[in-house]
């Protein structure tokens, strides 16, 4: 990437072209490591195939409900001595509006059906944790990857209007879990650029 005389670089603009989110049932025996999504890995689905063998994409996402990150936390702790502050633990959330009504989305909202295919709904948010892989594709060709554990913390169905897509606005929280980077991170993130990376894992 090369900046112009004023320090601006159009090729570095965060111009999103597409994204996807794949969810798999939580497995306490799984280990999510940095090597799985390293910048040298051309196809993470290869390194993640065992973990996501029972997984499924959440599917289509509405154009006005594209994935959105947020951070929330309590106020930072200030000390008597000036210039010292300790930030509170944050909540890192990922909100998106799903357009599809598939088993993965139902599992995150109303749960799983019984043997007769009937859902016994007590809430539209489930306590279950999920292993999640997220990709964001940029116009430059770079792909941002994330790997971690998500839990649904918000669910707002849209009105069922005839002739319109009726999505569900989901809010999920990245959980600091022992299977993610040995409990040291809320999620792992990397950037892959096909034109410059050394491709492995094909």
pLDDT in tens, 114-154: 999 999 999 999 999 999 999 999 998 999 999 999 999 99
Q: What is the pLDDT of residue 133?
A: 96
User: Taking all residues of the chain, what is their mean pLDDT, rounded to a whole number?
Assistant: 91
Distance CA 200, CA 202 (A): 6
| Buried-state track 74-98, b at ≥16 Cβ within 10 A, e below 16 | eeeeeeeeeeeeeeeeeebbbbbbb
pLDDT digits (tens, 9 = 90+) for 38-53: 999 988 988 899 999 8
Domain boundaries, the chain: 15-26+44-70+92-110+123-202
Q: Looking at residue 153, what is its pLDDT?
A: 95
pTM: 0.87
DSSP 108: H
Question: Please, what are the averages of pLDDT over each run of 10 residues along the chain (202 residues)?
Answer: 84 90 95 95 89 90 92 91 90 96 94 96 95 95 96 94 93 97 96 67 42
Provide the token pair at 100.
């599809």
What is the DSSP pairing of strand 90-98 with strand 85-86? unpaired
């Amino acid at each position: 990437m090369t900046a112009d005389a004023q320090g601006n670089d159009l090729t570095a603009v965060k111009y999103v072209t597409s994204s996807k989110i794949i969810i798999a049932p939580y497995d306490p025996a799984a280990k999510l490591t940095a090597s799985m999504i390293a910048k040298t890995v051309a196809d993470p689905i290869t390194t993640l195939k065992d973990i996501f063998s029972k997984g499924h994409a959440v599917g289509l996402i509405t154009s006005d409900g594209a994935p959105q990150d947020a951070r929330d936390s309590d106020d930072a702790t200030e000390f008597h001595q000036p210039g010292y502050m300790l930030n509170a633990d944050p909540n890192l959330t990922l909100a998106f509006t799903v357009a599809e009504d598939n088993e993965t989305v139902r599992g995150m909202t109303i749960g799983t059906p019984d043997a007769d295919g009937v859902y016994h709904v007590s809430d539209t948010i489930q306590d279950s944790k999920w292993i999640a892989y997220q990709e964001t594709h940029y116009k430059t060709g770079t792909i941002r990857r994330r790997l971690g554990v998500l839990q649904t913390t918000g669910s707002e169905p849209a009105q069922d209007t005839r002739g319109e897509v009726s999505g569900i606005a989901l809010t999920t929280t990245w959980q600091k879990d022992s299977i993610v980077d040995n409990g040291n991170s809320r999620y792992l993130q990397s950037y892959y650029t096909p034109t410059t990376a050394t491709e492995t894992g094909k």
